[in-house]
Structure 1
Amino acid sequence: MAGWDHEWQEAVSRVAAAFERLSDAARQNLEGHARGMVAHKEAMQQLVARADAAAHCAGCGGACCVRGRYHFSAVDLLVYLATAKPLFAPRFDNGLCPFLGEPECLIPAGYRPFNCITFNCDLIEDQLTRDEVSRFYRMEQELSARYAEIRALFPARSMDGPLL
Structure 2
Amino acid sequence: MAGWDHVWQEAVSRVTAAFQQLPVPVRRDLEALATAMVAHKQAMQRLVSQADAASHCAACGGACCAKGKYHFSAVDLLVYLATAKPLFAPRFDNGLCPFLGEPECLIPAGYRPFNCITFNCDLIEDQLPRDEVARFYQMEQELSARYTEIRALFPAGSMAGSLL
TM score, norm. by length of structure 1: 1.00
Q: CA offset at residue 68 of structure 1? A: 1.2
Q: CA offset at residue 73 of structure 1? A: 0.1
Write the mapping of 1:84-99 to structure 2, written as runs, cut at 5 A.
Answer: 84-99=84-99
Q: CA offset at residue 95 of structure 1? A: 0.3
Matches of 1:123 and 1:35, distance apart in 2: 30
Write the mapping of 1:1-164 to structure 2, written as runs, cut at 5 A.
Answer: 1-164=1-164
3-state DSSP of counterpart to 2:33:
helix
Matches of 1:108 and 1:61, distance apart in 2: 18
Q: CA offset at residue 89 of structure 1? A: 0.1
TM superposition outliers: structure 1 runs of 4+ over 4 Å: none
Matches of 1:12 and 1:40, distance apart in 2: 24
Deviation string 1:21-63 (CA, Å, 9 cap, x unpaired) is: 0011110000000000000000000000010000100111110
Structure 1, unpaired ranges of 5+: none
Matches of 1:58 and 1:22, distance apart in 2: 41
3-state DSSP of counterpart to 2:110:
helix
3-state DSSP of counterpart to 2:162:
coil
Matches of 2:61 and 2:16, distance apart in 1: 34
TM score, norm. by length of structure 2: 1.00
Matches of 1:90 and 1:67, distance apart in 2: 16
Matches of 2:121 and 2:95, distance apart in 1: 22
**Number of aligned positions between the proteins:** 164
RMSD of aligned Cα (Å): 0.3
Deviation string 1:115-154 (CA, Å, 9 cap, x unpaired) is: 0000000000000000000000000000000000000000
Amino acid at match of 2:135: R
Matches of 2:59 and 2:95, distance apart in 1: 21
Matches of 2:61 and 2:13, distance apart in 1: 33
3-state DSSP of counterpart to 2:26:
helix
Q: CA offset at residue 75 of structure 1? A: 0.1
Matches of 2:135 and 2:65, distance apart in 1: 23
3-state DSSP of counterpart to 1:84:
coil
Amino acid at match of 2:146: R
Matches of 1:160 and 1:72, distance apart in 2: 11
The sequence identity of aligned pairs, in percent, is 82
Amino acid at match of 1:153: L
